[in-house]
Amino acid sequence: MNGPLDGPRMTYGGPDGQPARQGKSAPWTPILLVACLLLAVAIVVLAGRAGQTDLAAGRANASPTSTATPSPANATPQRPSPSVRPEPAGGDAATVARAPVGADEAANQFVKAWVDGNRRTRVPALEKVATPALVDQIGNTDPAKLPAARPRGRAAPVDVSAYAAEYQQRLSDGSAIRIGLVADPDAGYGWLVDSVTPKA
């Protein structure tokens, strides 16, 4: 018996009028499931790669030396100063991550003045970067008693806090000196040398 869609040109019978075999439908459900799984895996892999790229970019942009120094609860916040003078925020023991530029310059200018054998230029140069007491102590040193050695490189920070710093200067004869500095907002570099001693 023909159905409503069967017509003279539509036959479902086999050759020679035999009934047609019932065909099996294609297994679409497993194929769709596999396709969805592959799509999900591709999305996860792409998202993971994008996340790693973002993480790597974040690490490259991160500053490894930035540290936060806790401040007392009753402290008044201060704006950072663009000058080379230190802006102390804490006690004498508050350390800083790197030496202030002013301390570096004061230490290195002191070394140049300290080894200068010309008394006329030596004393004025020392007065710019050393405390008056230290200038009185070493300013009029006999040039014959000054070390013949010359500075080797720049003075390097050994210990630096918000109010004090210690530098070491190597000399061409293999010896070294220690230079102590104190913060002084009225000084040209914001720091003054207050001691110089041979390194033990």
CATH of the domain at 194: 3.10.450.50
- Asked whether residue 72 is assigned to any structural domain, the reply reads no
Per-residue pLDDT for the chain (200 aa), expressed as one digit of tens each?
555 555 555 545 555 555 555 555 556 677 777 777 787 777 877 776 766 655 555 555 554 444 445 545 555 444 444 334 444 443 444 445 577 889 999 999 999 999 988 889 999 999 999 999 999 999 888 878 887 889 999 999 999 998 999 999 999 999 999 999 999 999 999 999 999 998 86
- Euclidean distance between CA atoms 87 and 80, whole angstroms: 7
In a domain, 182, yes or no: yes
Q: Using N-to-C axis directions, what is the helix angle for 101-114 and 119-129, rounded to 10°?
A: 160
Q: Is 140 part of a structural domain of the chain?
A: yes
Token duo for residue 136: 């009185």
Task: Give how many domains the chain has, as a whole number.
Answer: 1
Query: CB of 167 within 8 A of CB of 179?
Result: yes
- From 114, 185, 197, 183, select the one nearest 150 (Cα to Cα): 114
pLDDT for position 80: 41
Annotate 77-91 with DSSP letters as a single string: P-PPPSSSS----S-
**Distance of alpha carbon 162 from alpha carbon 96, whole angstroms:** 6
Give the CB-side neighbour count of residue 79, counting CA atoms within 13 A: 3
Identify whether 111 is part of a domain: yes
Coil, strand, or helix at residue 198? strand
Would residue 156 count as lying in a domain? yes
Residue 108 covered by a domain: yes
